[in-house]
A and B are shown apart, each in its own frame.
Chain A
Amino acid sequence: MFVNNDVRKSEEMLERHVTQPSEAGHPIILSTEDLHVYYGKKEALFEGDLQFASNQITALIGPSGSGKSTFLRSLNRMNDRIATVTGRIMYRGVDINQPAVDVYEMRRRVGMVFQRPNPFAKSIYDNIAFALRLRGVTGKHELDEIVETSLKQAALWEQVKDDLNKSALALSGGQAQRLCIARAIAVKPDILLLDEPASALDPVSTGQLEDTLLELKENYTIIIVTHNMQQAARISEYTAFFNQGRVLEYDTTSQIFTNPQVQVTSDYVSGNFG
């Protein structure tokens, strides 16, 4: 697993290749500048200068402990009580770490799906509807509609439409994860962050989840952390490679996988370490 990860020559570690997404029709929606994240005194992320194109899927790959999850969780301030974040995270021109920013409103715009499916101990319907009710959407008709659309977008509607009042805890892992996606998109975010969403799923569910993500990018910007390089290659337009708390390489996915510029990236994507 950890072959020579720590004993690489330091000059090799300084090599970096970070590009900017520049495809027409996909403006930059989110960018980070000089981002550092500390857990207590320990620095977990040293440099993360990345720009994310809207309505595209960006994959974050890298070995365990390389800082990719830490990076992702900083993007909607899930690290607030856990870690110290310095630097800027610009979302549509606003630095989300400014005190004036309403963190709850910001998290509704930047939704998140976690590694382990975490449906609430509520009915399938309420899993999606209750956050909306808290935001003042109370019309039965309106709620029904949002629940149906979200479940359809998450490709779960056909399987659960007759069981909306049953407990979400009875769903299978893949279904539960898609419910979590439906729940996240029901509050109409701009950006969807996914932290290894398929790592607890079987191959069939994983395939369904990837299809869902490919459809969702029509409406959402998706940033996904994954350990599965085939997955990154299959679904993403851009890929960022993290190693030891730094972004070593960021480019289009095809570049990263076919013609990586940094030796460590090349080693990682060809399975030599990590």
Chain B
Amino acid sequence: MTSKKQNQLAIGALYGIAGLVVLILLALLGYILVSGMPKLSWHFLTSPAKAFLSGGGVGIQLFNSFYLLILAMLISFPIALGAAIYLYEYAKDNWVTATIRTAIEILSSLPSVVVGLFGFLFFVVKLRLGFSILSGAFALTFFNLPLLTRSIEDSLRTISDVQREGGLALGLSRWETVTRVILPAAVPSILTGVILSAGRVFGEAAALIYTAGQSAPALNFADWNPFNISSPLNPMRPAETLAVHIWKINSEGIMPDAKAISSGSSAVLVLAILLFNFAARYLGKRLYKRLTSA
């Protein structure tokens, strides 16, 4: 076979594989959206769920998902950022950092249900946090931390070493170089990592079933004092998220319209992640422009 033919064959095969992947993704996405769209309405998005009657919504679950996502990110992002900066910018390559990296890799391949059970034993039972948003956020932090650290470290790696030397040669300290030169330049790449991990966190169910709980008590959206039990901001209340809700009504839902609610919830979940993606990308671009005037 000539090189030319070989090349054409390879290109053909690669196109085929890529096409197959796109097709599968589009089919999945299309199926979720088509079967869920009819259910979507303002009422569905804002009203609380009903246990036995039809016509329930996912308002509280939707809010819980976002609240948990934000809390989990608030806890895990600074830790991951610090760990990544230490590992890539400061730490020498020796057995300590090798151990840390191995630990991170092992932790990132931990099944999320194991993280959930650990969270249940440690946060819920041992620390007596109960089934609460806080327990859930901590469990999600454990779940999220390894991947986020890894992706931020990779982002730092994409910034060329000549940039670091440039900063040091101007008499900046290593810290000043990292915070003023490296991080601003790495923002878009770090942001991509954050978006990807946020999507995983938003759709996570197994780690939350035993930590944030499976019930969604009624909330009073007029009360924003985090110390009141019915306040949406109260971090000590149990909080079923959208993903947990989908799992639950599929396994034990007894409302007449369980299937429709499940489809609708799935569509909402997908749309919310899409929305979150676009918003984060837009904000990231703005931020990068402000930091770099690119």
Q: Write out the residue numbers on chain A whose beta carbons fall within 8 Å of the beta carbon of B181.
A: 120
Contact A118 B173 (CB under 8 A): no
| Nearest CB in chain A to that of B293: its residue | A123
Q: Given A107-B170, A107-B171, A108-B171: A114 and B165 within 8 A (CB)?
A: yes
Contact A187 B171 (CB under 8 A): yes
Contact B168 A126 (CB under 8 A): no
Q: Which of A105, A118, A130, A169 contacts B162 (CB 8 A)?
A: A118
Mask, A60-96, CB within 8 Å of B = 1, is: 0000000000000000101000000000000000000
Bound together, the chains give a CA A111 to CA B176 distance in angstroms of 17
Number of chain A interface residues as a range: 20 to 34
Mask, A96-132, CB within 8 Å of B = 1, is: 0000000011111001111010111111001000110
Contact B163 A120 (CB under 8 A): yes
Q: Given A123-B293, A134-B180: A118 and B170 within 8 A (CB)?
A: no
B18 interface residue, CB < 8 Å from A?
A: no
Bound together, the chains give a CA A261 to CA B133 distance in angstroms of 80
Q: Write out the residue numbers on chain A whose beta carbons fall within 8 Å of the beta carbon of B291.
A: 121-122
| Nearest CB in chain A to that of B90: its residue | A81
A167 interface residue, CB < 8 Å from B?
A: yes
| Nearest CB in chain B to that of A167: its residue | B294
B185 interface residue, CB < 8 Å from A?
A: yes
Q: Write out the residue numbers on chain B whose beta carbons fall within 8 Å of the beta carbon of A122.
A: 184, 291-293
Mask, B167-204, CB within 8 Å of A = 1, is: 11111110010001100110000000000000000000
A126 to chain B, nearest CB (A): 7
B99 interface residue, CB < 8 Å from A?
A: no
A161 interface residue, CB < 8 Å from B?
A: no
A45 interface residue, CB < 8 Å from B?
A: no
Q: Which of A104, A113, A121, A187 contacts B185 (CB 8 A)?
A: A121
Contact A107 B169 (CB under 8 A): yes
B263 to chain A, nearest CB (A): 45
A59 to chain B, nearest CB (A): 20
Contact A78 B165 (CB under 8 A): yes
B3 interface residue, CB < 8 Å from A?
A: no
A180 interface residue, CB < 8 Å from B?
A: yes
Bound together, the chains give a CA A169 to CA B289 distance in angstroms of 13
Number of A-B contacts (CB under 8 A): 70
Contact B173 A169 (CB under 8 A): no
Bound together, the chains give a CA A121 to CA B172 distance in angstroms of 16
| Nearest CB in chain A to that of B187: its residue | A121
Q: Given A104-B172, A131-B172: A120 and B166 within 8 A (CB)?
A: yes
B160 interface residue, CB < 8 Å from A?
A: yes
Contact B170 A131 (CB under 8 A): yes
B294 to chain A, nearest CB (A): 4
Bound together, the chains give a CA A176 to CA B168 distance in angstroms of 18
Mask, B260-294, CB within 8 Å of A = 1, is: 00000000000000000000000000000001111
Contact A112 B169 (CB under 8 A): yes
Q: Write out the residue numbers on chain B whose beta carbons fall within 8 Å of the beta carbon of A131.
A: 170-172
A183 interface residue, CB < 8 Å from B?
A: yes
A173 to chain B, nearest CB (A): 13
Contact B172 A134 (CB under 8 A): yes
Q: Write out the residue numbers on chain B whose beta carbons fall within 8 Å of the beta carbon of A119.
A: 166
Near A by CB (< 8 A), chain B positions 8-43 give none
Among B162, B165, B171, B184: residue with most chain A CB under 10 A: B171
Closest 6 pairs between A and B when the two form their complex, measured CB to CB: A108-B171, A123-B293, A112-B169, A118-B162, A121-B185, A167-B294
